[in-house]
Amino acid sequence: MMGRACIKLLRRLIRREDGVAAIEAALGLPILLTMIVGVLELTNIYFVSASLENSVMRASRFGITGSIDEGSTREEQVRAIIAKQTFGRVDMNEVQIETLVYEQFGDIGQPEPYTDQNESGSYEFGEPFTDVNGNGQWDDDMATAGLGEAGDIVLYRVRYTSPSITGLFDWATRAVNISATVAVRNEPY
């Protein structure tokens, strides 16, 4: 008797449609909201990346001229251009700006020349080398820091770790590393 009553009640509940919309919303809404937040996060990352690349291009265009506004250095002006071109979306206290000077484009990222006396394939302390950057030690990159002089090749490299805007995906990404690089030859000035 009890079993028939349960089956009868179950059949009646299955035929009812009250509350179906609420159940569908409870199942679908979290998925929809997660997708919307994900799109916002990706959009933010792409925007910061594009604005950072644009800012490095603008800063390098300024840097090649060698001009200096009164009361500030070229480095300060490069930093100001990057801050302006990223529209406040980049924390300038967290931005790493690196400018490296080379003699030729082919020198970018190359180590200082050395004589591999023990034929190990890599530099080891004590082997003779040409101190291209003049710092008294062998370096795996022959560049010198700075914005260079007329005719120098300057590599502008900017790195930024972009935080999440909502924090929803912090468990997966924490932060996204974004970088932009451009190499230019300074004008004769």
Count each helix (H run) and each strand (E run) in the chain, helices first. Answer: 3, 4
* pTM reported for the whole predicted model: 0.79
For position 173, what pLDDT does the model report?
Answer: 67
Q: How far, in Å, are 6, 12, 25, 27, 172 from residue 31 at the CA level?
A: 34, 30, 10, 8, 17
Residues in the chain where the model's pLDDT stays below 50: none
Predicted pLDDT at 1: 63
